[in-house]
Amino acid sequence: MKLFVAVALSMCLSIAHASPETDACDAHRQSLERQMAIALNRDDTAQLDSLQAALDKTNAECTPEAIEQRSSGALKRHNDAIAQARNTLRAWEGELARAQKKGTDQLNIAAWQRKVNRARADLDRAIARPIQ
């Protein structure tokens, strides 16, 4: 009995940890299957074939490997955007420091400071942007 409860609990936990993308895949599959049932009742073979092709495509795109590949690609793009924003910020901070050290006039220093502030805001946006 304890084994049964443990197995049931582990199954519930694995279902509870389904990803949003997995949930979207399941919802899309169910929608296609409902449409296929309607097409079958209408004896609409053309629509049934089209829906079957869409279901096959969904099944191919919703494998754990495909989902993982998309997720890792999105994470890489997110990290690349953050790295690029950090590099830009460092470059503008360097230019600002050189201008201040050189004794450049206040108008030029203020312009470099605005660039630094914009680069910081861009970095903050890149970090806050959801991974997609």
Here the tokens at position 26 are 């399941």
Which single residue is written with the structure tokens 């890149």? 126
pLDDT, tens digit, 9 for 90 and up, residues 2-59: 333 333 333 443 344 457 778 888 898 999 899 989 988 999 889 989 989 998 998 8
Residue 91: pLDDT over 90: yes
Q: Are 73 and 57 in contact (CB under 8 A)?
A: no
Give the model's pLDDT for residue 61: 87
Give the model's pLDDT for residue 23: 84
pLDDT, tens digit, 9 for 90 and up, residues 65-82: 888 888 888 999 999 999
Give the model's pLDDT for residue 18: 57
Q: How far is CA 11 from the centre of its chain?
A: 27
Spans of all domains in the chain: 20-62, 73-132
Looking at per-residue pLDDT, the higher value among 14 and 108 belongs to 108
d(CA 126, CA 129): 5
Q: Are 131 and 75 in contact (CB under 8 A)?
A: yes
CB burial readout 41-69, b (16+ within 10 A) else e: eeeeeeebeebeebbeebeeebeeeebee
Contacts of 81 (CB under 8 A, 6+ apart): 126, 129
Task: Please provide the average confidence, as pLDDT, over all residues in the chain.
Answer: 84
Contacts of 29 (CB under 8 A, 6+ apart): 55, 58, 59, 62
Give the model's pLDDT for residue 2: 37
Q: Is 0.75 topped by the overall pTM?
A: no
Here the tokens at position 70 are 């998309």
Q: How far is CA 100 from the centre of its chain?
A: 40
Summarize the confidence of residues 109-131 as an average pLDDT.
95
Q: Which amino acid is at 71?
A: S
